[in-house]
A = this chain, B = another copy of it.
Amino acid sequence: MGVSSRVAGAEEMCPYRLVLEHVTSRWGVLVLIALEERSYRFSELRREIGRVSEKMLTQTLQTLERDGMVHRDAKPVIPPRVDYSLTPLGREAAAQVRTLATWTERRMDEVAQARVKYDETRP
């Protein structure tokens, strides 16, 4: 997910698929779910999510801000303070994503069972 919203093959893809990918991307999901609870400062969010490089968090936040999902509030103070929160649109997205994430979590043992079956029938 690039700053200018580039993804492999992005050019020939219908626009909504692009937004879908932003929202369901690796860090997109986590950012949305985190911000659904409350607003976060940059490095606060970084710690909350864990193991995100600064670069990826920045890119993710910018992409989601550009898509109108995230609101960025930069306070003109020193040292800089920037708060991130969800827009109403982002809030809807977050709810959907969280639903999917929760569903996945709750179905994990079914998945695990399926994997065992799959694996034991081949080398």
Using a CB–CB cutoff of 8 Å, the interface residues on chain A facing chain B are 9, 12, 15-16, 19-21, 23-24, 26, 29, 51, 65-68, 87, 89, 92-93, 96-97, 99-101, 103-105, 107-108, 110-115, 117-119
Say whether A29 contacts B19, CB under 8 Å.
no
Say whether A92 contacts B103, CB under 8 Å.
yes
Prevailing SS type, chain A contact patch: helix
Task: Count copies of this chain in the complex.
Answer: 2
Using known A-B contacts A23-B100, A29-B20, A100-B96, determine if residue A111 contacts B67 with beta carbons closer than 8 Å: yes
A68 to B108, CA, bound (A): 10
Say whether A16 contacts B104, CB under 8 Å.
yes
A51 to B12, CA, bound (A): 9
Say whether B115 contacts A66, CB under 8 Å.
yes
Contact check: which of B67, B100, B108, B119 meets A15 at CB < 8 Å? B108
A87 to B117, CA, bound (A): 14
Say whether B99 contacts A111, CB under 8 Å.
no
A8 to nearest B CB, angstroms?
Answer: 8
Contact check: which of B67, B103, B112, B113 meets A96 at CB < 8 Å? B103
Residues of B with C-beta under 8 A to A103 = 92-93, 96
